[in-house]
């Protein structure tokens, strides 16, 4: 099993390294929830609610472009950044190695 490491910045600016397996087909949202970050993920990962909004501070290039469905949700948010993504739409893989991800979704669980 291959493990990658990336950094998560919470709403208060604290950073913590997270490890995740690349061979289980998990999404970034699932890893963040399993790591007990306050991700609502109201729609369960269907790109319908944008409560798993994150900003990719480092490592954006390897992730590819957001889908039209993802962009539709992001564009409806009060705060939307060029590096915004939905964590449910990012699969855990080598492209996330060393990335820095800032939590942007609602911070209430």
Query: pTM for this one?
Result: 0.92
Q: Where are the beta strands (DSSP E) in 1-109?
A: 3-9, 15-21, 53-58, 84-86, 100-103
Q: Which CATH superfamily is domain 3-103 in?
A: Beta-grasp domain (3.10.20.30)
Integer Cα distance of 3 and 95 in angstroms: 12
pLDDT in the model for residue 58: 96
Residue-range domain boundaries for the chain? 3-103
| pLDDT tens column, 45-59 | 999 999 999 999 999
**Residues 40, 98, 67, 11, Cα dihedral to 10°:** 30
- Region class of 50: left (phi > 0), else alpha (psi between -120 and 50), else beta: left
- What residues in the chain have per-residue pLDDT under 50? 107-109
């Amino acid at each position: 099993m291959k493990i990658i490491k990336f950094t998560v910045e919470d709403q208060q600016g604290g950073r913590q390294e997270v490890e995740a397996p690349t061979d289980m087909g998990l999404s970034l949202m699932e890893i963040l929830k399993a790591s007990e970050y306050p991700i609502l993920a109201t729609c369960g990962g269907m790109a319908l609610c944008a409560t798993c909004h994150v900003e990719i501070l480092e490592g954006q290039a390897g992730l590819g472009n957001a889908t039209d469905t993802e962009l539709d949700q992001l564009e409806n948010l009060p705060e939307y950044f060029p590096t915004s993504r939905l964590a449910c739409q990012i699969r855990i893989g080598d492209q996330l190695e060393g990335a820095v991800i800032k939590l942007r979704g609602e911070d209430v669980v």
